[in-house]
Amino acid sequence: MQKYSIFSLVKNALTGHQNWDLAWKDPNPKEEYDVVIIGGGGHGLATAYYLAKEHQITKVAIIEKGWIGGGNVGRNTTIIRSNYMHDENGLFSEFGMDLWRKMSQDLNYNVMFSPRGIINLAHSDAQMNAYARRGNSMRLNGIDAVLLNREEVKELIPMADFSDNVRFPIFGGLMQPSAGTARHDAVAWGYARQADSMGVDIIQNCEVTGFDVSAGKIKGIRTSRGNIKAKKVGLCVAGSTNILAEKLNMTLPIETHLLQACVSEPIKPVLDKVVTFGAGHFYVSQSDKGEMVMGGDLDGYNSYAQRGNLPTLQHVLTEGIAMMPFLSKLKMLRTWGGIMDMSMDGSPIIDKTHIEGLYLNCGWCYGGFKATPASGWTFAHTIAQDRVHELNAGYSLNRFSTGHLIDEKGLGTKTWIS
Amino acid sequence: MLHIKCPHCGMRSQNEFSYGGDATVKRPELNKEVTDQEWDNFVYNRVSPRGKHFELWQHLSGCRQWIKVERDTATHEIFKTYKANEEIA
C-alpha cells in the first residue's frame, strides 16, 4: 500500500496526481470467507480492520448494499465524547477516545480529530446537581470532566444567550475538554483503505437477501451477487437491523427511527466547542468549513425514509435559537436524515446470538459515530474469540430480559419517546 | 408534514398528534402465568417493519383520543385510520 505523507503528496503533485493508487479495490465475492461482516459503514469497516490487525483474521469480506460510508457514518454530526455516567458506557467510550487520539497515525489517514471540548449546558440548580454527579462518576472512571459555573461558561461561549429574561437561563455546564469532532467520511475511508491493504474484500452494491442456518449454526449468506459461505457472520447494519433480523426470525429490542441534522451557510470562526442545550435536545458545533452543524430530536415515529420532516427540524432549531440567538440570522445550507437503531434502554448491543457463529452489533441510537473505533475493536474481539470482551460485556442482548438495563438517562424503556 | 385523518375530527396536521408506537403489541393476559419471554416481547421486542406499520397516535392537541394509524414507514403514506377500539381489518 502506498503510504500517505508530505513526500508522496509533493511527488504526486509534480506528476499531476495521475499515479495515486486506488485506496481500495473492487473485488468480486469469493465462494467462502472466515468472517463476513454485513454493513460497510464505520462500524463494519472498523470491525474488519481490527479483525485483521488484532486477530490476524484476513479472510474477511465486508458486504455492503450501497457504497461504503453512504449511511450514518456519512450523515452524522461528527461528535466524539465519553461523558457518560454509567461504567459500561463510560469505560467503553473512554477506551474509544484513546483509539480516536491515535487514529490518524494508526490508519495513515488524516481523520482531522479535533478535541475541542463539549459543553452540556445546565438551566437549573437541579440540573447542576445532576451534572456534578455525572462529572464525578466520569472522573472516577478516569474521564476528564469540569463543572463550569455561569461566568465560566460565558467566557467560553459568549455568543450564547446570557440575558436575564430568557425562559431557560444558563446556570452553568459540564465540560469534557477531551471530547471533540472528527471528519466522518475520512474515518470510513481510512478504515476501508487499511482493511483492504490487509486482504479484506470490500464488496459494494451487494444486498444480503437471506441467511443459511442449519442445526443452529450459521453456514453462509445469500446475496444479490450469489451465495457466500462463511464460518462467522457479523451484523453491523444500524438502521436496517430489524430488516435483517426478520430474515433470521429474530425480534429485537430495537425500533428504527429517523434522525435529522442540518448545516448553515459557512461563516467565520465563532464557536470552538461542541455545545448542547440542556432544556431540550439540540447540539451545535462549527465545522472546519465554517458551517454550523446542528441536530437534535428524532422525528418521533418509526421510519426508514432517510429523509426528514419539517416540524421536528423547526422544533429543534427553535431550541437552538433560544440557546444562541445569532443562529436565526443564518441561512440553512443543507438538511438530511439518517435512520437509527433505537434500542429500548438507549444503549447499544454487541453480543453473540442464539445462532452459533452469528454476531450482533446494533442499537447505537444517537451515538454511533463516536463509538466507531471501540465498537469495531470489541466486535472484532467478540467475533474472533467467540466471547465478549469485558468492555462490551454489559452490551448484552439478554440484558432486557434479565433486567440489567444500561439506562443512562434514567428514563426507563423507550428513552426517545417525548 | 404528515396529515393524519383523526376518525373523530377529520384531517389534521401532524403537529396536533403525539406518537404511541406499535399498535399490534398485546399485553399478556391478566391472572395468567406469564413467561419472561412473553413479558420481554411485550415490553421490549419490536418487529419495526419497513413498509406497512400499525401504530398508535394520540390526538393530543385535538380531541385527545388515542387512534390507530396504518402507515408506510418508508414512504409515510397513510392508508387508513381507526378508532382505538376498532379492530384492525
Query: What pLDDT score was predicted for residue A177?
Result: 98
A255: chain B residues, CB-CB within 8 Å = 21-22, 46, 48
> B69 lies in which domain range?
3-23+39-83
Q: pLDDT tens across A290-336, in order?
A: 999 999 999 999 999 988 899 999 999 999 999 999 999 999 999 99
User: What percentage of chain A exceeds 90 in pLDDT?
Assistant: 95
Query: What pLDDT score was predicted for residue B33?
Result: 92
In a domain, B33, yes or no: no
Q: How far is CA A228 from CA A32, A36, A236, A329, in A?
A: 6, 9, 17, 54
Q: What is the pTM of this model?
A: 0.96
In a domain, B29, yes or no: no
Nearest to A52 by CA among A198, A202, A193: A198
Q: Which of B44, B55, B75 to mutate: most A Cβ within 10 Å?
A: B44
Residue type, A245: A
In a domain, B17, yes or no: yes
In a domain, B89, yes or no: no
Query: What pLDDT score was predicted for residue B30?
Result: 87
Q: Please tell me which of the candidates A302, A303, A310 has its beta carbon nearest to residue B1.
A: A310
Q: What is the CATH number of the domain that holds B77?
A: 3.30.2270.10
Task: Indicate the number of domains in chain B.
Answer: 1
| pLDDT confidence bin for A414, thresholds 50/70/90 | confident
Quote the ipTM score: 0.95
Give every residue of chain B whose pLDDT is below 70, as ranges: none
3-state SS, residue B14: helix
Residue B62 CB neighbour total at 10 angstroms: 16
Nearest-angstrom CA–CA distance, A230 and A212: 9
pLDDT of residue A418 exceeding 70? no
In a domain, B30, yes or no: no
In a domain, B66, yes or no: yes
- Interface contact A242, partner B, CB < 8 A: yes
